[in-house]
Amino acid sequence: MTDFSDEELERYARHIVLPQLGGIGQRKLKAASVATVGAGGIGSAVISALAGAGIGRLTIAGSIAGIAIGFGLMLPGHLFGATGAGDVKLFAAAGALLGPAATAAAFIYTALAGGALAIAIACRRGRLQRTVHSAARLVASGAANAGEIEAVTENNRFPYAPAIAVGAVIAALGVTL
């Protein structure tokens, strides 16, 4: 068993004592390379199981369609100054892991989480009444008087990464509204 470090021996002790696997089988797992395409609902479970089994090299190929959808959904927010470039990249990365269908769901969950986060931050900053009033004017005017609406500035921006993380996790768990 010199192929395993003390930490690996401790981690894989239950595998090694199984007569069906043993030390030889665990060595083969450690030497194996596995590639997965997509890390969505099924892929994430497979990746977790392979990593737990002790696969030596695990390559994860994300979903190109998920990247494109994630990028496309967040880009308009960045272009209008509501989100940062990092938020766009983070959501594209989430899209790569979730795949196209779950990325669309994650966007909805992200928007809901972002709205809740915005309300909480506005309350904390003592700006809730002004924020609600500004949003009501925007809806009532049909964006005709967009110049009257408070512009997004550094003072009223907030980090969107927590909302993206919440949305991606909820979508990855397969929660439906």
| pLDDT tens-digit series, residues 110-154 | 888 888 887 787 788 777 777 777 777 767 766 555 555 455 555
Q: What angle do CA 125, 131, 133 make, to 5 degrees?
A: 140
| Structural domains of the chain, count | 2
> In this structure, are 113 and 167 located in the same domain?
yes
Q: Please check whether residue 108 is in contact with residue 96, taking contact to mean a CB–CB distance below 8 angstroms.
A: no
> In this structure, are 79 and 41 located in the same domain?
no
Residue 1 belongs to a domain: no
Strand, coil or helix: 118: helix
Residue 14 belongs to a domain: yes
DSSP label at 34?
E
> In this structure, are 84 and 47 located in the same domain?
no
> In this structure, are 167 and 101 located in the same domain?
yes
Q: Percent of the chain, pLDDT > 90?
A: 5
> In this structure, are 52 and 101 located in the same domain?
no
Strand, coil or helix: 175: coil
> In this structure, are 115 and 161 located in the same domain?
yes
Task: Identify the band that residue 1 occupies on the pLDDT scale cut at 50, 70 and 90.
Answer: very low
Q: Give the domain range for residue 130.
A: 64-172
Stretch (H or E) spanning 158: none
Euclidean distance between CA atoms 104 and 76, whole angstroms: 15
Residue whose structure tokens are 């997004």: 152
Could you tell me which residue, 53 or 124, shows the higher pLDDT? 53
Domain at 10, CATH number = 3.50.50.80
173 Cβ contact partners less than 8 Å away, ≥ 6 residues apart: none
Which range of 50-54, 121-125, 142-146, 170-174 scores highest in mean pLDDT? It is 50-54
Euclidean distance between CA atoms 124 and 150, whole angstroms: 18
Could you tell me which residue, 118 or 23, shows the higher pLDDT? 23
Residue 144 belongs to a domain: yes
pLDDT exceeds 50 at position 17 = yes
Residue 20 belongs to a domain: yes
> In this structure, are 163 and 77 located in the same domain?
yes
Strand, coil or helix: 35: strand
pTM of the predicted protein model: 0.51
Euclidean distance between CA atoms 42 and 33, whole angstroms: 19
> In this structure, are 164 and 78 located in the same domain?
yes
Residue 33 belongs to a domain: yes
